[in-house]
Structure 1
Amino acid sequence: MLTIRRDIVDAIIAHARRDHPDEACGVVAGPEGSDRPERFIPMLNAARSPTFYEFDSMDLLRLYREMDDRDEEPVVIYHSHTATEAYPSRTDISYASEPNAHYVLVSTRDENDVELRSFRIVDGEVTEEDVKIVD
């Protein structure tokens, strides 16, 4: 189960709405080994695409160095789907390389009703998990 603060969920949804119709993407870092998402880090979708996201390789390198310096890890890796449900695509699954991360997807296909779901993706296997939002 992913336990995540409401302000972080709100920030993820706001980022997804702001970047719509392109997919938004980012990371929520937390203390190494804690499974606690604490630091919201919106990233630029280098692909600038409504159907695909890609972290800029230099931005990602900088982020991983920064997390390493702070003894953090990517607890949540999020992105949005602009026209489909919040479920990992084949491309999403093939790029999932953090076995301990929660992969959060937000669908902005319905501007009045945003769908947010979380998954574990390990060795190509997708498992949906409950999301507990706390204050």
Structure 2
Amino acid sequence: MLTIHTKLVNAMIAQARQDHPIETCGIIAGPVKSNLPLRLIPMRNIAQSEDFFEFDSQQQLQVWREMEQRDEEPIVIYHSHTHSQAYPSHTDVQYATEPQAHYIIISTDQTYEDEIRSFRIVEKMVIEERVRIVKTYQSDLELMLA
């Protein structure tokens, strides 16, 4: 299960709406091994595509170095689907390289507008997980046990 603050969810939705019809993308960093998403980092979709996203490699290198210096990791990797439901495409599964991360997809398609779903993608297997949106985080210990 992913527990995530409502402010982070609102920020992802706002970014997805702003970037529509281009797929939006980004990460939410948190302390290593905490499963606690804290710091939203919007990323550039270098592909500038309506049905594909790709992090700008220069920006990704910079962000990953910064996370390492701050003892953080990508807790959430998110992007939008502009013409379909919030479910990983074949390409999404192929490019999923962070097995510890939650992969959030936000649909900006009119049929599924603002649908948010989270998945674990490990060794090309997709497992949907529950998303719990909260206004405050519980203690770190309670979150790690959840």
TM-score normalised to the size of structure 1?
0.98
CA distance in 2, matches of 1:110, 1:48: 20
Q: Secondary structure at the match of 2:91?
A: helix
Of the two, which has the highest radius of gyration?
A: 2
Amino acid at match of 1:64: W
Amino acid at match of 1:57: S
Length, aligned pairs only: 135
Q: What pairs with 1:56-135 in structure 2 (closer than 5 Å)? A: 56-110=56-110, 113-135=113-135
CA distance in 2, matches of 1:80, 1:30: 21
Q: Which runs of 5+ in 1 are unaligned?
A: none
Kept in 1, the 8 Å contact 2:23–2:82? The answer is yes
Q: Secondary structure at the match of 2:97?
A: coil
1:106, distance to aligned residue in structure 2 (A): 0.2
Q: Which runs of 5+ in 2 are unaligned?
A: 136-146
Large movers: runs of 4+ above 2 Å: none
CA distance in 1, matches of 2:5, 2:131: 10
Q: Secondary structure at the match of 1:42?
A: strand
Calculate percent identity across the aligned residue pairs. Answer: 57
CA RMSD of aligned residues (A): 1.1
Match of 1:43 in 2: 43
